Amino acid sequence: MTQLYDLIIVGGGPIGLACAIEAQKKKLHYLIIEKGAIVNSLFNYPLYMTFFSTAERLEIGNIPFNCLAPKPGRQEALEYYRNIHRYFNFNIHLFEKVTEVYQLENAAFHVGTDTTSYEAKNVIIATGFYDIPIEMNVKGENLPKVSHYYKEAHEYAFRNILVVGANNSSVDAALECWRKGANVTMVIRKNEINNRVKYWAKPDIENRIAEGSIKAYFESNITEIRKNEVEIETPDGKITIENDFVLALTGYKPDLIFLEKMGIQLSGDELKIPSYNPDTMETNVKGLFLAGVICGGMQTHKWFIENSRVHATMIVDYITSK
């Protein structure tokens, strides 16, 4: 017979781990299923990324996050969450992807993965949003020189690179690549750098643009990407620039199709916000919960580790109270 869990947590990021900590406290029979490495999204962040949050705001399970710098970086965060796993010894399956979740006649959930299947009385979806890039839908976007993710600057040194966007990831990439010797151009849809950019990076990028070290086209869009050049629609008309690489850091979105297949209702507007009870985090499907950034739909800037850690306690307290 298939083993029946009290709770299956889909996603092994910080919020998924926080849910597991609360489940252990309440002695629930639980399992985390993560499609990649532990805290896989953080692993895929740029190598030298610095968090906006201070270390204590990234803590889970009341375990201190010790950090020498005012803001922790990616490497320190990975070390912290690895140590969290060492301390709590989670029941977690890594590199196993959940492909389907649906409710059975007995109200339990079938959770199918790419290798096997499970059953659970309750399921938490804590899958974040970093896996599906928001595409530009322009000709040439599928060329090998185009990437929707940025890891480090070295390969772009002394090359003509174009960075699309004006958010944190775009600004970080533009500055790092410029400092490593790249010839950097930015294409920005709006007329300014995003106000949510990290407070120490925003004046830096604005000054680099003002002095001409980094060229920026505001209120502009890419219209076509070719092997050695890019075509841009600007307020002054269409231009073509030489180009070796395009970093299309236009943002990411949660797997909304996956949510809909589970029966979770989404708002009819462009925000696609899932239906859930803000007091319990339970969706319109009884026994199916959301935790973390996925609760915001396309509003991926609304929820962070620091303000969604509480979802873990809310959910597990509700489950154990039933």
**Which pLDDT tens digits describe the chain residue by residue (322 residues)?**
678 999 999 999 999 999 999 999 999 999 999 999 999 999 999 999 999 889 999 999 999 999 888 899 999 999 999 999 999 999 999 999 999 999 998 889 999 999 999 999 999 999 998 889 999 999 999 999 999 999 999 999 999 999 999 999 999 999 999 999 999 999 999 999 999 899 999 999 999 999 999 999 999 999 999 999 999 999 999 999 999 999 999 989 999 999 999 999 999 899 999 999 999 999 999 999 999 999 999 988 888 888 999 999 999 999 999 8
Q: Which helix (H) or strand (E) holds 314?
A: helix 310-321
Which domains are seen in the chain, by residue range? 4-132+252-321 (3.50.50.60), 135-248 (3.50.50.60)
Rounded to whole angstroms, what are the CA distances from 321 to 26, 49, 199, 279, 315? 11, 40, 42, 13, 10
HEC-encoded secondary structure of 156-207:
HCCCEEEEECCCHHHHHHHHHHHHCCCEEEEECCCCCCCCCCCCCCHHHHHH
Tokens matching residue 306: 């620091």
Question: For residues 12 and 177, what is the distance between their CA atoms, to the nearest angstrom?
Answer: 31
